[in-house]
A and B are shown apart, each in its own frame.
Chain A
Amino acid sequence: EVQLVESGGDLVQPGGSLRLSCAASGFTVSSNYMAWVRQAPGKGLEWVSTIYSGGNTDYADSVKGRFTIIRDNSRNTLYLQMNSLRGEDTAVYYCATGLSEVPWWGQGTLVTVSS
């Protein structure tokens, strides 16, 4: 069964760092594209970053230079390293992938950036 389980969300001060994890099961992360999507409280969905099977990465302009998407093939896990966090980064962060063209999403983890 395909599962994506996010973890690592927490309360962090502005300017701080946090690393989110997305543990995958039922498929191999290195063979598929993997993405992070976020949703600020009461707002819509916003794409954050994608890593492709070949290792190429893309980032939304709002996080470029601050966030890094990382894939650990040995752990079959996706990460999002978030630095220089701002209040506007407060959101539920979801990891997602596509298997045989069907999107799969995790349940999300909450990141709160506040002093």
Chain B
Amino acid sequence: QSVLTQPPSVSGAPGQRVTISCTGSSSNVGAGFDVHWYQQHPGTAPKVLIYVNNNRPSGVPDRFSGSKSGTSASLAISGLQADDEADYYCQSYDSSLHGWVFGGGTKVTVL
């Protein structure tokens, strides 16, 4: 069981908007630690999509956006495209575990 909770799957039609939630607790997200989001296609390394809650690295389209409030964070993907079909993970730091914590991952399916 992952420390951060994500829905196992979300789906949407091309062009639609989907959101992925990431729920933590008072020792991680709720304590103010930053949340990062990763995209992972099969057989490849995770790629940073969002860092420090709502920042995009250069090269990541503005269709991807992140937010954080209280003990939760969210990743939104607008204008869904076929290549967005992948696994998505959130990550934070936990002060009780003294280490990084991840969500269990969300599989995005483009219908």
Contact residues in A for B101 (Cβ distance below 8 Å): 47
Give the docked Cα–Cα distance between A45 and B91 (Å): 9
Q: List the interface of chain B (C-beta within 8 A of A).
A: 2, 34, 36, 38, 45-46, 48, 51-52, 55, 57, 89, 91, 97-105
| A60 at interface by CB-CB < 8 Å | yes
Give the docked Cα–Cα distance between A50 and B51 (Å): 19
A101 touches B34 (CB 8 A): yes
| A79 at interface by CB-CB < 8 Å | no
Contact residues in A for B98 (Cβ distance below 8 Å): 58
Count CB-based A-B contacts (< 8 Å).
47
Contact residues in B for A104 (Cβ distance below 8 Å): 48
Among A37, A102, A107, A108, point to the contact of B100 (Cβ < 8 A). Answer: A37
**What would 6 more interface pairs be, CB under 8 Å, given A103-B48, A103-B51, A105-B48?**
A44-B104, A45-B89, A47-B99, A47-B101, A94-B46, A101-B55
Among A44, A50, A102, point to the contact of B99 (Cβ < 8 A). Answer: A50
Contact residues in A for B104 (Cβ distance below 8 Å): 44
Q: How many residues of A contact B (CB 8 A)?
A: 20
Across the interface, name the chain B residue whose C-beta is closest to A6: B45
A44 touches B2 (CB 8 A): yes
Q: List the interface of chain A (C-beta within 8 A of B).
A: 35, 37, 44-47, 49-50, 58-60, 94, 101-108
In the complex with contacts A102-B57, A103-B48, A46-B34 CB distance below 8 A = no
B51 touches A101 (CB 8 A): yes
Contact residues in A for B45 (Cβ distance below 8 Å): 94, 105-108
B99 touches A60 (CB 8 A): yes
Across the interface, name the chain A residue whose C-beta is closest to B101: A47
Across the interface, name the chain A residue whose C-beta is closest to B47: A105
A102 touches B46 (CB 8 A): no
Q: How far is the CB of B24 from chain A (nearest CB, A)?
A: 14
Give the docked Cα–Cα distance between A45 and B46 (Å): 9
Give the docked Cα–Cα distance between A104 and B47 (Å): 9
A102 touches B2 (CB 8 A): no
Contact residues in A for B103 (Cβ distance below 8 Å): 44
B89 touches A44 (CB 8 A): yes
